[in-house]
Structure 1
Amino acid sequence: MKASSRAIVLAAVTVLSWSTVATAFKITLASMGVREMISVSVFSAFVVHAVWMTLSRSWGELSRLSAKMWLKFALLGLIAPVSYYFVLFEAYDHLPAQIAQPINYTWPIILSVLIAVIDRRPVSASGYAAMAVSLAGVALISLGGGVDGAISLTGIALAFASALLWALYWIVNDSLKSSVSETTSLFLTFFFGTIYLAAMSLLRPLGPIASDGLLAGCYIGIFEMGLPFICFGIALRTTDNPALVNQLCYLAPFLSLFFVALFVGETIMPSTYIGLILIVGGIICNRYLTARNRLQHT
């Protein structure tokens, strides 16, 4: 198989994996608590990344890391997976999946704002317009009339907080890219995440975990936190068209609605589809405008 074709296959695996996890979150939360869910899933992901470290022969890289780098990864592991997934799972516990997932998907917009603030680079008027389109989509989904019951404001705040945490994760992670491979970076974040969660479970023991909950948690660890990150990274490194690989990932939230309707039983509102189109459209426009501005200033 040609490298370009293999990259598309790996990107497709990534999209299919991420499109199922909103459904897995809701199903798993019905049978176990957030702490139990995150503990099982993060440990499962840690095992996946440890196996990949072995297959990619990356263990030797750990011995070359400075103490300062270890401390940075300790911070990264606290941001994600620990804080990010705690907040994200709580958001799903408070909201229908069709609302929690699109709001969480606004993280690229938040990332753009944070980078502009950190780099002290003003955002263009067109950039603000693109962000406004995405936020209009969020408002439409949140107000969305038709979803049974009142929408939890706490859940909406948690979903936005998860997007903020994920944006912060990528800022810190990006600062480490020149010093360590992506394989080692992912392993270390889940290594520290596992340590933090193990320490928390010693202070406050986990509740009972049924066998079906254990399997569901392992599924989340493998297909949300493990395999898709590995596949996506390989796809980007081996493709001759990275823009296409990135754009394929925008299919995930739309496929996710199909699985949520099929397996969770949520009736997907028209406002959800329209709002998600606005969110993704704003993100794509913002990325295009950002890339164009960078070219103009080089």
Structure 2
Amino acid sequence: MTNQKQAMLYGLGTVLLWSTVATAFKLSLRELAPVQMLLIACTASVVVMAVILMLQGRWHLVFSLSRKQYVQSFGMGLINPCLYYFVLFGAFDRLPAQEAQPLNYTWALVLAYLSVPFLGQRLRTLDILAGLVCYAGVVVIATRGAVTSLSFSDPLGVSLAIASTLVWASYWIIATRDARDPVVGLFLNFLFGLPVIFLICWWTEGLSFTPGTSLAAAVYVGVFEMGIAFVLWSYAMKKAENTSKVSNLIFISPFLSLVFIHFILGEQILSSTYIGLVLIMAGLWLQQKKVKAREEAVIHGG
């Protein structure tokens, strides 16, 4: 099997896992507060990533970093998982999954915009057009089709969903200067973030968890969304001979996710969700065209 085929299989595996997490979020939040869900998911993720590092023979890398890098792990852990997932789960706690999930996908566009001031990249006309198309979709979803009234279904929930994209994009901006092994870095971020989440959970919501669907869903999120999916995606990127083809697989995820949301959660998917999601995906596709053009220029010595 060629490297590109392996990359596509890893990518498809990741997309399938990502497609299920919006449903898992909502199942977990039926009985758990966002911070309780975060504590369980983060704990499961730390265990899974530790096992992965041991199986790969890279566990020793956890202990080979400089003092500065361990401090960096704590700082990045406050952003992801602490802040990012608390904000994201807060959005899912207030919004239907069919609304929160597409809004979160706009983080890729936010990343492109933040790259201008922080990474010195140029903002092109295509970026502005992509933004207009994407956020038109956001407005359609957030107003449930009542665009002219601009009456948002849940202003705080929508604000949290948009805020999560800012936090996530900021995290990846900072990560561009991260010299640590990706899996080791993520493991340490979660490990250092875990005590903070534990203290906040103990202080606010308590540590009493009832076994059941919600608890199982939170563990699922930690194992697959926060752990295995990240590793699969990093493998896909390493194996890929054409990263654009692999990256384009993410466009399948939000539509596949609606299938799980409808049949497992029982949400009636609104026409405004389909229209808004198509607009968001179209905007992201436009933004991706710039990335493809840059890759082709590099390949052909442009």
TM-score by length of 2: 0.91
CA displacement at 1:204 relative to structure 2: 4.5
CA displacement at 1:153 relative to structure 2: 0.2
CA displacement at 1:6 relative to structure 2: 2.6
Question: Given that residues 91 and 100 in structure 1 are in contact (C-alpha distance below 8 angstroms), is that contact kept between their aligned partners in structure 2?
Answer: yes
The answer for the alignment partner of 1:55 in structure 2 is: 55
2 CA distance for matches of 1:137 and 1:189?
Answer: 33
Correspondence for 1:159 among 127, 137, 161: 161
CA displacement 1:72-102 (0-9 Å, x = unmatched): 1211111011111110111011111111111
The answer for the alignment partner of 1:265 in structure 2 is: 266
CA displacement at 1:285 relative to structure 2: 1.2
The answer for the alignment partner of 2:289 in structure 1 is: 288
The answer for the alignment partner of 1:17 in structure 2 is: 17
The answer for the alignment partner of 1:172 in structure 2 is: 174
Which ranges in structure 1 are unaligned for 5 or more consecutive residues? none
TM-score by length of 1: 0.92
CA displacement at 1:217 relative to structure 2: 1.0
Change (3 A) 1:83 1:240: same
CA displacement 1:147-173 (0-9 Å, x = unmatched): xx9711000000001111110111111
CA displacement at 1:107 relative to structure 2: 0.3
2 CA distance for matches of 1:66 and 1:256?
Answer: 41
SS of aligned partner of 2:123: coil
The answer for the alignment partner of 2:215 in structure 1 is: 214
- 1:79-228 map, 5 Å: 79-145=79-145, 151-176=153-178, 179-204=179-204, 206-212=206-212, 213-228=214-229
SS of aligned partner of 2:209: coil
Moved more, 238-247 or 45-54: 238-247
Q: Percent identity?
A: 36
Q: Is 1:254 matched up with 2:255?
A: yes
CA displacement at 1:198 relative to structure 2: 2.5
Kindly tell me the number of residue pairs found equivalent between the two proteins.
Answer: 294
2 CA distance for matches of 1:17 and 1:267?
Answer: 22
Q: CA RMSD in A?
A: 2.1
The answer for the alignment partner of 2:26 in structure 1 is: 26
Question: Given that residues 28 and 216 in structure 2 are in contact (C-alpha distance below 8 angstroms), is that contact kept between their aligned partners in structure 1?
Answer: no
SS of aligned partner of 2:252: helix
SS of aligned partner of 1:21: helix
Which letter maps to 1:160?
A: I
SS of aligned partner of 1:211: coil
Question: Given that residues 61 and 180 in structure 1 are in contact (C-alpha distance below 8 angstroms), is that contact kept between their aligned partners in structure 2?
Answer: no
Which letter maps to 1:222?
A: V
Moved more, 234-243 or 198-207: 198-207
Question: Given that residues 35 and 206 in structure 1 are in contact (C-alpha distance below 8 angstroms), is that contact kept between their aligned partners in structure 2?
Answer: no
Question: Given that residues 79 and 169 in structure 1 are in contact (C-alpha distance below 8 angstroms), is that contact kept between their aligned partners in structure 2?
Answer: yes
CA displacement 1:243-295 (0-9 Å, x = unmatched): 11111122111111111011111111122112111111111211222453684
Which letter maps to 1:132?
A: L
2 CA distance for matches of 1:47 and 1:65?
Answer: 20
2 CA distance for matches of 1:140 and 1:205?
Answer: 34
SS of aligned partner of 2:268: coil
